[in-house]
Amino acid sequence: MSENDQTWRQQDLAKGFLEEIRGAIPLAGEQIDVLLRVVRVALPKVDRLLDLGCGDGILGRTLLAEHRQASAVFLDLSEYMIEAARQKTDCPRASFVVRDLAAKSWIESVAGQAPFDLVVSSLAIHHLTDERKQELYGEIFDLLAPGGLFLNLEHVSARSEWSKRAYNDFFVDMLWAQHRRQGGGKARDEIAEQWRLRLGKAQDLTA
């Protein structure tokens, strides 16, 4: 079992990500808007799409709403995430697959629905090793239809300690704002400590 598999099969981590963190990701709405604009220009018609590491399916279901003739495959290694995607999407044109992108066998679960006009992913591929990322990009390319498009919304590692601190401070501010929107009364320092402990827990699981 891969390190990524061990971590994200933990239901408490998956649940916490969806309920506490997903809505606090800085500029997430703007990122999705940019993705939609790129697709509109590059692919006026999408018939088949694949959402890799789909989480609760936010990318795939947004694209399904815009391309009403399209069918979509949602893939994630977490059964909890897939169930959340299934409930939120509620679309007869969608299918759902539990597979780990760290294992090459994931391709077998979607090959029957290829080729895809569009493959998307968000905040999932960075969990893989650099070697596996390169392999995965080749596998995705092989699943694309001629003229197809792969779009990956990701974050990258900061190259300096000060930029890491700046990002983490911004993220904690967004987490605290999300917490208050949900009616919570915790102080920012408490939210920051919970985030630090969460990161430590994830690192322990992948050690």
> pLDDT by residue for the chain (207 residues), tens digit each?
444 444 444 554 444 444 444 555 666 777 888 899 999 999 989 999 999 999 989 899 999 999 999 999 999 999 988 999 999 998 999 999 999 999 999 999 999 999 999 999 998 898 899 999 999 999 999 999 999 999 998 877 778 888 878 877 887 887 887 778 878 888 888 878 877 776 655 444 333
Nearest to 74 by CA among 63, 90, 85, 62: 85
pLDDT one-digit tens code per residue, 91-138: 999 999 999 999 999 999 999 999 999 999 998 898 899 999 999 999
Question: What was the pLDDT predicted at 26?
Answer: 63
Q: Which domains does the chain have, with CATH numbers?
A: 3-153 (3.40.50.150), 161-205 (no CATH)
Residue with tokens 């692919």: 43
